[in-house]
Amino acid sequence: MTTPAPVLLAHDDLGAGRPVLLVHGFPLSRRLWAPQVEELSSRWRVIAPDLRGHGASPAPGGTCTMTHHAADLIALLERAQTGPVALVGLSMGGYIAFELLRRRPDMVGALVLASTRAEADTDQGKERRRTLARMVTEAGVDAFVDEFLPGLLSETAARERPDLVAQVRQIMVETSPAGAAGSLLGMAERPANTRMLDSIGVPTLIVAGREDRAIPLEAAETMQRAIPGATLARLGGGHLLNLEHPAEFNRELVRFLHEHWT
């Protein structure tokens, strides 16, 4: 396995205790985790990076695979001398978590997979990513946000929570066009992670939203059946359920960390 050269990631490193790494989804930033950082940092050391091309982290350009993202995170954890972490990945953060686990299982002591899936994209899904990458490169992030944002929130939140819609939009437009295009092309290339599920040997919590419009609940149920001992929390809300329902999301996360990571 070759390892790409890592980039230095902008990140928060708050609190003390066993380390928890929060890996955001696409096209977002560590700001996604604000409700979780506030809750967890009184009991744990919480590390929340901006992935390359997102938030305040640099975008070197080109296709950015899950391997690039995982290499950046491994370098960050090594520099911060964390030792093994509880790895929390939401959506694309989950795809990256699988890659990190494959490369450095010694760095992962517990795993939380939120709003994510183990399958690769279908051919149609890959084509949509390439179309979106072209759109963001030619027309900028704003045009792309209109196309992508509806999938990130439940219909209920989209209808009744203009504050939340505006908050998510604001986080999205801070992603650079090169960063967004790079990760779109990288996600299209990602392998299926289904075959590694039954070899995951760390405590695992899966969290999924009943109203997720981007990734169906069945993807979470498939992971739960395959990962030994994994538990599945089905919550209300859509894809970004940690923002839509922070209290419920935090309750599941804190319960899991208390049990497996104190």
d(CA 57, CA 29): 9
| Coil vs helix vs strand at 153 | coil
Tokens coding 8: 């230095």
Residue whose CB is less far from ligand MLT, 70 or 84? 70
Q: Which of 32, 92, 108, 197 binds ligand MLT (CB under 6 A)?
A: 92
Cβ-Cβ contacts under 8 Å for 90 (sequence gap 6 or more): 23, 24, 25, 32, 114, 115, 116, 240, 242
Q: Is the dihedral angle over the CA atoms 74, 27, 87, 250 positive or is it negative? A: positive
Site string for ligand MLT, 8-37 (x = CB under 6 A): -----------------xx-----------
Pairing of strands 45-49, 11-14: antiparallel
Give the binding-site size for ligand MLT (rule: CB under 6 A). 7
91 lies in the binding site for ligand MLT (CB under 6 A): yes
Q: Which residue is nearest to ligand MLT (CB)?
A: 25
Tokens coding 163: 């504050």
d(CA 92, CA 148): 14
187 lies in the binding site for ligand MLT (CB under 6 A): yes
Residue whose CB is less far from ligand MLT, 187 or 223? 187
Other residues' Cβ atoms within 10 Å of the Cβ of residue 89: 26
70 lies in the binding site for ligand MLT (CB under 6 A): no
Dihedral angle computed from the Cα positions of residues 184, 203, 244 and 247, in that order, rounded to the nearest 10 degrees: -160
Residue whose CB is less far from ligand MLT, 45 or 239? 239
98 lies in the binding site for ligand MLT (CB under 6 A): no
Site string for ligand MLT, 144-183 (x = CB under 6 A): ----------------------------------------
CB 168 within 8 A of CB 243: yes
Closest approach, Cβ 92 to ligand MLT, in A, equals: 3
Site string for ligand MLT, 196-235 (x = CB under 6 A): ------------------x---------------------
Residue ranges in contact with ligand MLT by CB under 6 A: 25-26, 91-92, 187, 214, 239
